[in-house]
Chain A
Amino acid sequence: MDVARDNILNRVRSALRVPAHQPLPPTSAPIFPPVTNPEARFREEFAALKGELIENSEALAGFIKGFAGIATDGSELVGNVIGEANASVRECDLGVTSCDCLVAQTGSVIVSTISAGGRALSVLPPTHLVIARREQIVPDLATAMALLRKHYNKHWPSALSVITGPSRTADIEKILVMGAHGPKRLVLYFAD
């Protein structure tokens, strides 16, 4: 017997007995222009957001050497490319994860608790490295959402994030500063 719930729903139903004016319908034209070359578009957007792309395994080895404490999501992909973790999420200076997919339209990386080893690993460390495959690039958000729904098939993870560039703020005089609370650097390596 939830009185508040009943009260609120009753007030809603009673309010809705009077119809409200309906807006003019939209046309059926696509909302976003089509993405013609997803990989090129992804690279362009990702770079514009100050995301960093590592082009080959030598560069990756050099990059990793710069970090003392590395935490990983424990996935096979990351294990094969990076090896084992040597630090916890809270203590590391580099967090390495896989991802669900990459979105060309916005240059985004989509992660979840399942694809990226929990909630904190992709947001707490000062640098976040994503190991992905080119085949994970999808043209736009609509395709990404459809893919996620199909993949998780009602067994949703408890949290998902669409990550678009490193953490940033413009709260101080609209001056862009990177690394407000989340990772200051977002780095991506294609394993394929």
Chain B
Amino acid sequence: MTTPTLEQFKHDAAEKTADLHHRAVIQKAIATYDAAVARGRLRFADWQNARSHAAAIKWETINHLDRYLEQFERNVLANGGHVFWAETAEDARVHVLQLARQHGVEKVVKSKSMTTEEIHLNDALEVAGIHTVETDLGEYICQIRGEPPYHIVTPVMHLTKADIARTFQQKLGAPLTDSAEELTMIARARLRQEFLTADMGITGANFAIADTGMVAITENEGNARLSFSLPRVHVAIVGIEKLIPSFEDLALFWPLLSASGTGQAITAYSSLIGGPRQERETDGPREFHVILLDNGRTRLLADAEQRDALHCIRCGACLNACPIYKNVGGHAYGTTYQGPIGSVITPHLRDAEEWSHLPYASSLCGACTDVCPVRIDLHHHLLHNRRNAVQNKFDDPIQRLLFRIWLATMQSPMAYAVASRLGNLALRLGIAQRLLKPWTATREFPTPPKQSFKDYWRQHGRRA
């Protein structure tokens, strides 16, 4: 059954897979990543055991999520912060706009947050006349190009230095340069002014700590720290699945996230925010607001078979391991969460029928499951999603019929033998090639064997 979303995906995939420049850029980026991750994992006494620890902690949290959410809220409130529960993306957007109006906000600085991408926050802010600036270098580049991020961790993985230099020249009037350092300094200078004059800082959170009521933010640039330090108001938008039980758990999760995300021991800045500026403190926002976002996560929670997909710490390792991602790139997925995790959760977070094709856009190689630091059974969940699609009758009725016929053939050794001979004949006559154009457009078909195994067995089978 085809949908416009599927047709768009196929169109974008066809374009990107034929783009050899794109393939080379992505391969180079991921080769660098792979080497760094190999080194990063060696810092653990036993990487596999570290994964098991993390899986156990996330299982405990997600399977007692109500308790941990309530504890988190209690602690945020006790520290002088506010908690808003958003059932939908719309609820979250409306609340942010309300806060902005309340505080006379004209300018917002944002740090990198896939959750804010998910709820399309920037568009809502711009429509309301609030100047919104992405401050993570990669996200800033995406914003001035008018593109969504290419990857959940590395937003401009698909661009070369030259692409970025041209963008800065066209959009910022900056002099053309060949130096990554100079390009970064151009962005630094521009964004510094934005930090110093912004009214509100909006961040996401990598983790939400239940027992201390803090949000944890992981970064390398320092833009998140500036976003929650300089403006008058700090808003953190946090998916309800980000909870972990305890402050001490970060001693595992910070290095785990870094090792899988970039190969680092830990990122340059791993921060914790527990509330607004206190009496005894010299600076910081006067108000701290946490928005806890559902937006379909409770749907995924209710699917006990795939519940562990909520353990995801958004490290991006599965994207980097996926041969499909490496060939089609992030934009082709057409949705916020890309790669294997995206293909698992999107049918739950968004319309199941419209997004039923993503789990099928996989060869089920299993590389994703192997690299996931919290042991999510990713490729098996793709199979579960496929089964769900069939059970919900999202499949093509012709395909359904074909599999019924196929089953009938497979249940009868006689029919199977006849079908095999007909198949070989169709191959020899070139009929199969004509019918299976998707294959034969680019590949040859095998030459049928001179003798089927059944015939071989008849000849050589019985022996004393």
Contacts and interface: CB of A to CB of B under 8 A. Distances in A.
The answer to A–B direct touch (Cβ < 8 A) is yes
Contacts of A161: 225, 269-272
B251 A141 contact: yes
A26 B256 CA distance: 15
A26 B373 CA distance: 13
A140 B43 CA distance: 12
Contacts of B284: 113, 118-119, 158-159
A1 interface: no
Q: Name the interface size band of chain B.
A: 35 or more
A119 B135 contact: no
A174 to B, nearest CB: 5
A16 B65 contact: yes
B69 to A, nearest CB: 7
A92 to B, nearest CB: 13
Interface string A22-46: 1111110111110000000000010
A174 B220 contact: no
A9 interface: yes
Contacts of A12: 65-66, 69, 240, 298, 301
B79 A182 contact: no
Given A113-B278, A181-B226, A174 B32 contact: yes
A76 interface: no
A158 B79 contact: yes
A31 B265 contact: no
Contacts of B212: 156
B385 to A, nearest CB: 16
29 contacts: A8-B240, A12-B69, A13-B66, A16-B301, A31-B252, A106-B265, A119-B283, A123-B269, A124-B226, A141-B250, A142-B251, A144-B251, A145-B248, A146-B248, A158-B277, A160-B272, A160-B274, A164-B267, A167-B220, A167-B268, A168-B268, A172-B161, A172-B180, A173-B28, A173-B180, A174-B32, A180-B137, A180-B188, A181-B188
Interface of A: 2, 4-5, 7-9, 11-16, 18-27, 29-33, 45, 89-90, 105-108, 113-114, 117-121, 123-124, 140-142, 144-146, 148-149, 156-175, 177, 179-183
Interface of B: 28-29, 32-33, 43-46, 49-50, 52-53, 55-56, 59, 62-66, 69-70, 79, 85-87, 91, 135-138, 141, 154-156, 159-161, 164, 180-181, 183-185, 187-188, 191-192, 195-196, 212, 214, 220-223, 225-226, 228-230, 240, 247-248, 250-252, 254-255, 262, 264-278, 280-284, 288, 292, 294, 298, 301-302, 304-305, 307-308, 375
